[in-house]
Amino acid sequence: MLLMLSLLSGLLINPPASATSDSPEAVVDRVVSDTLTVIRENIDGIKNDDAIAQEIVNTQILPWFDTQLMARFAMGRLARQASEDEITRFTRALEQRIGNLYVDALKEFATETVDFSENGEVQLRTVSEESPRAVISARVIGPNVEDTTLRLQLYYRDDRWRVFDVETSGVSLLIVFRDALQPAGRDGGIPAMIAALEEGDLNIEEALEAEMDQ
C-alpha cells in the first residue's frame, strides 16, 4: 500500500489553476500530464515487460528527484569524508534503488493508478513555498487507496524544482533509506553503504512497511 501511495504522490497531484509556471505545483502538473499519458498508452506492456516500466520510470519520474541532495542526506556525517567518486557511486546506486521501487510499484499498481487518475481526488495545500524549499500537503481520496495525506518536500536547484522526500502517514522515504544504511556505514563506511545499495542487500520495502505499522 505504501508503494502505491508513493507512486500516486509522484503522479497524481493536481495543482490549482492559479499556479504560476515556475511554481512547484505547476512543475508537478506537467509531470502528471506527461506520465499519465505514457502509462495509459503502455498499460498492457507495463504489466508484462520490465523494460517498459523501467523506461517510464527513468524518463518520467527519476529526473524529478534530486538524487544528489538525497544521497548526501542518506550518507549522513560520512558524506563529509567521502571522495567525489564515492559520492557519485552512492548517488547512482541510490537512484537505481529508488527507481527499482517505482518500477515495482508501477507494475503492481498501473491499473489502479489509471483508475485513480480518472476517479480519484487530491486536495492540495501548500504548507510553505520559499525558494529553495517547498512543502506540499496532499490528501488522497479515491478508489483503491485509503484516505491518506501525503507530504512532499521539494528543493529548487539548478533552475528547477525537484522532489527531495516523500512522506506518507509520517513515514519518510528518505529517512527509511538513511536508517537502513546506517549499520553498513558503521561497519564499513561509504564503500559498505554503496555495496548494500548496489547488491540489493537492503529490503527497503520491508523497512517501509515496518515503519507504517508502528
User: Residue 89: its pLDDT value, please?
Assistant: 96
Q: What average pLDDT does the segment 194-200 reach?
A: 87
* Residue-wise pLDDT tens digits, 149-187: 888 899 998 888 888 998 887 889 899 999 999 999 999
Q: Residue 212: pLDDT band by 50, 70, 90 thresholds?
A: low
SS3 category, 23: coil
- Provide the 3-class DSSP secondary structure of residue 153: strand
Q: pLDDT grade, residue 10 (50/70/90)?
A: very low
Of the candidates 114, 123, 208, the one whose C-alpha atom is nearest the C-alpha of residue 169 is 208
Architecture of domain 2-213: Roll (3.10)
Q: Could you give the percent of the chain with pLDDT greater than 90?
A: 28
In terms of Cβ atoms closer than 10 Å to its own Cβ (0-12, 13-18, 19+), residue 66 is: buried
Mean of pLDDT over the chain: 80
More confident residue, 18 or 55: 55
Distance CA 97, CA 124 (A): 28
Cα-Cα-Cα-Cα dihedral sign, residues 137, 5, 113, 97 = positive
Q: Whole-angstrom Cα distance, residue 112 to residue 4?
A: 9
Q: What average pLDDT score do residues 7-32 get?
A: 54
Cβ contacts of residue 211 below 8 Å, gap of 6+?
Answer: 171, 176
Residue 17's pLDDT is 39
What sign results for the dihedral spanned by CA atoms 110, 15, 35, 7? negative
Q: What's the whole-number mean pLDDT along residues 4-28?
A: 51
